[in-house]
Amino acid sequence: MAAAVGRYLSGQAARPSGAVGRLMGRNWVRETAAVNDTAIELLRLVPGERICEIGFGPGRTLERLAAGGAEVVGVDVSPTMVDTASRRNAKSIAAGHMRLHQGDGITLPVADDGLHAVIAVHTIYFWPEPITTLADISRALRSGGLLVLAFRAGEHPLPARFDSSVYNVPTTAEATAWLHTAGFCDIRVDHRPDIAPTIVWVSAATP
């Protein structure tokens, strides 16, 4: 029974849906705030930049980016999260400062060289083809564009409540190797044990 519950909740984390998905989204606003805020800090946001968040969930980070003066694009695989984040950010969307899309988790709905930065927090586990997605992020970023990933590093044991058939958790070394393969450079790994000792923040730039 416990394994079945864990598998169900892990599936909801990967693709939230219905009432359970909305409840998990509300919990994430509080639980992941510090990790997301650190990722935003590492972006070194400049007002007017065009930034994409992959897997935006309930939309708190989108809200923070828009408040900082960014033009924001969001992509999420979950229609439930698109609806939730759209409600949260209705004013920014109406003003034309934000566009949200339901995406396939592999490619971004933006033109080549169309972004200054990309941010993805706790979503790399669920990408069907991580290297393909990273290559597409590189395509969408302009030269010198920045990618910031934040994720639970695979060198730490996966809690029992996370189903390993759903969570494909890379080690820091695996993730940096994927970035090199996808053509990124200037790769930097940050640790903030005071915030989250099992989380790494990995920044990388396009040539």
The tens digit of pLDDT for each residue in 151-174 reads 999 999 998 889 988 999 999 999
Q: How many domains does the chain have?
A: 1
How confident is residue 11, by pLDDT bands cut at 50, 70 and 90? Answer: confident
Averaged pLDDT for residues 89-118? 95
Q: How many CB atoms lie within 10 A of CB 36?
A: 21
The structure's pTM equals 0.94
Q: Which two tokens stand for residue 44?
A: 């070194």
User: What pLDDT, on the 0 to 100 scale, is given for residue 1?
Assistant: 62
Q: Which two tokens stand for residue 47?
A: 């007002």
Q: Which residues pair with 50 in a beta bridge?
A: 71
- For 52-64, letters b (16+ CB in 10 Å) and e give bbbbbbbbbbbbb
Range of the domain at 161: 2-205
Residue 183, pLDDT above cutoff 90: yes
Residue 181 has pLDDT above 80, yes or no: yes
What CATH number is associated with residue 54?
3.40.50.150
In the chain, DSSP assigns E strands to 50-54, 71-76, 98-102, 115-121, 141-152, 185-191, 199-205
Q: What is the pLDDT of residue 27?
A: 86
